[in-house]
Amino acid sequence: MSGLEPVVSGKLMEYHYDKHHKTYVKNLNSLTEKAEDALSTGNTEEYIRLCKDIKFNGGGHFNHEFFWESLAPIKEGGGVVPDKKTDLRTQIDMLWGTVYKFQEYFSK
């Protein structure tokens, strides 16, 4: 059970970390080592080829870091509609009219 339940399943978070984020980090570390080796041996073609995969896995890692940092347990203000006085709620209401229209749009 996670601090995010019942809003977000703990099993879902474990799966997301173990199968997604962890894999991006593992791949990124391995690719970085290979790229360093390619540079040190003057293999520019291999280095350039690896850069594409480094960018992909690095992006996956950064996206997941943002994802984890964006979550909060209910006791810390997560899983609830933002208060009307917050910048987030003001922007949501301005763009979608109401937070419920935003949720409907986001769910689609």
Q: Which CB contacts under 8 angstroms, 24+ apart, belong to 68-76?
A: 68/21, 71/4, 71/8, 72/4, 73/3, 73/4, 74/4, 74/7, 75/3
pLDDT in tens, 14-59: 988 999 999 999 999 999 999 999 999 999 999 999 999 999 999 9
> What pTM did the predictor assign?
0.70
Are 35 and 8 found together in one domain? yes
Number of domains observed in the structure of the chain: 2
Are 43 and 87 found together in one domain? no
Are 72 and 87 found together in one domain? no
Are 58 and 11 found together in one domain? yes
Residue 51 belongs to a domain with what CATH number? Answer: 1.10.287.990
Q: Count, in order, helices (H) and strands (E) of the chain.
A: 5, 0
What is the per-residue pLDDT for 2? 67
Query: Is cis: bond before 82, omega within 30 of 0?
Result: no
Are 13 and 53 found together in one domain? yes
Are 103 and 71 found together in one domain? no
Rg, the chain, Cα only: 20
Are 8 and 45 found together in one domain? yes
Residue 102 belongs to domain spanning? 78-108
Across 4-13, 39-48, 50-59, 94-103, least confident range: 4-13
pLDDT in tens, 75-90: 887 778 888 899 999 9
Are 29 and 49 found together in one domain? yes
